[in-house]
Amino acid sequence: MTLALLVAGMASCESLQLGDDGLSKAPETSGATLDTLFRTVKDSDKVLASAYYYLPYGLISDFDSKMGKDIVESITDHFVSNKHTEGDGPNDLYYTGALGPNISGDAAGGEAYRFGSEKDYTAIRYGWYYLENADKIPDANPTELARKKAEAKMCIAIAYANMFRYIGGVPLIDHSIQTDEEMNFPRNTFAETVEFIVKLCDEAAQDLPWRVSEVEDGRMTKAAAIGLKLRVLCFAASPTFNSDTPWHPDAADWDNMGKYVRYGQHYDKSLWDRAKAAADEFMTGLAGGGWYALVQATPTGVDAAGNKFTTPRDYRLAYRDAYNKRGTTESIISIRKSNSSSYHNKNLDLQDDFGCGATLNWVNKFPYADGTPFPEDFDWEHPSAGGPDRYPFFKPDPNGQHKVDNKDTFTETRDPRLYENVCVPGDLWKNGNVGPTYVNAKSPNFQDGNTGFLQMKFIMQQEADRNTPPHWCMMRYAEVLLNAAEAYNESNGGPDDKAYAWVNAVRARVGLPALAEGMSKEEFRNALILERELEFGFEEVRWFDMVRWGLKDAFTTKLKALEVTGNKQTNATSFTFFVKDAYPPRSWYNDFDTKWYLSPIPAVEINKGYGMTQNPGWN
């Protein structure tokens, strides 16, 4: 039986808000009762499907108003938004430093995470309803029922893990709330929240299959349970939350605030040991169950002797399938809201209607295709000075696969992931035309405030590239590999052969050479953080890496842009460049406070009196 991942025949419930009457209302508005919902397997599946449906989603859609329909990447050092519409989170709350606990009106919802107003507690609620009532289902197959209960536990764990990374310790609801129940849910500590999520993952893993069949694609697996546990343990063990030094002065008050936002009062290496054990658990499962692997390129190039070779575009398309295509060997956790290929049109609208774009700071971090670092002091006034192989984006090549107007052919000179994350000057974008990254572009027009680059990931190059059922690949196998390498490096005091092999596998998938041998723990850590920047653009990874590693420079370094001018207005392929400051500036440049590591708790939630408290620096 294939579990439908969208609610069918059941009206969705209102968003759960702790402390409100809504917390104790029935989860359905169609008039159905618990007895009727669990009368048949088919009806009960609707409850479980609702838990799936309300899981967090990372792409702009009507599912929620996160960031005011903007993207989390806009508040990292990777991307700048110039949306400037009422309620836009990056411009109204983050760049100006105006975010706080008293946001209301149109601005409410512009936060990266607004505790009490997101969908996480709704998913949690449906999960507990299923767990507490599934045994009522007549004639349910015991093995299948155990599996579905495990799926419900995973939905709860994912919702809490999402909350945890933005908030720290949160009230842990371990049952469905009854109408006559006292609304008293004190905030749990950071450590308790970690252990709660890990316990759910461990329990779920016992009754989940390692992988699913094609017709069941999208359902939770044992690999997802262990992968999520590894992610959460790495986050908790990271320096911001696992240190002798509090990450914010307010966090030094252990009893009143610190215990909610730090794992302990002193560095605890055993946290990294636990993460390493989770990595081993995943790899043991992989050895026995197989299936999961990085999506690899299919060679299409043919040399003069008739031998096939892998082109830069082959690498790029393999990377594209890894994040974009459902059902690949790389997809660990896949969240679906719709099968319509138009569901993500709001991502296109952000780039079409506003001057948004990737920063030069990020673009400069992508190495050349041979692995040589791109120079920070690149001579943008003379971009051809280093010879064709050192052109910043493309080199003329009569055999190149990159074509403009079906006559100009070029070959990419940089890490293939650059082109799939970012539309660079001269690349085809969205509709098969050269992207309007240059100031004199026409049809489509250049948007003021553009950084000289556009988002490419999830938008891609042609309409046909988006003509597939969308999903949010919340976790890819590539992340598991890099998380495992991180855990090994930190637990062992430096990288071993396994840690190198896992990172090098991610690099080899796009044709990059292996990392240099003999790195120290700190050197390998920095290389790993960079690899995550190159691999996971627009996948809601960079923000949490900035937070958990305490990357203050990523917040405070001034962001740069390229002013790009084309030698013609339509489909320009050669340009002049001028480095300038990205607009708008951010208050963080001169006035950064580590309070930004965790989101403020809305005052309206604290005032409900059920037990939530404020995060450091936001009083």
Task: Say what the pLDDT of residue 399 is.
Answer: 84
Does this model's pTM top 0.85? My answer is yes
Task: Say what the pLDDT of residue 380 is.
Answer: 97
Contacts of 494 (CB under 8 A, 6+ apart): 519, 520, 521, 524
Six-digit token pair at 132?
């507490």
DSSP for 31-54 reads S--HHHHTSSHHHHHHHHHHHHHT
**Residue 539 to residue 334: CA distance in whole angstroms:** 12
Task: Say what the pLDDT of residue 20 is.
Answer: 32
Burial label, 64 (beta-carbon count in 10 A; 0-12, 13-18, 19+): middle
CA torsion through residues 279, 280, 281, 286, sign: positive
The answer to whether the beta carbons of residues 454 and 423 sit under 8 Å apart is yes
The answer to whether the beta carbons of residues 175 and 132 sit under 8 Å apart is yes
Six-digit token pair at 306?
């008739």
**Residue 522 to residue 122: CA distance in whole angstroms:** 41
**Residue 503 to residue 526: CA distance in whole angstroms:** 12
In the chain, which residues have pLDDT < 50? Answer: 1-27, 29
Measured at the alpha carbon of residue 451, what is the angle toward residues 75 and 97, in degrees to the nearest 5?
30
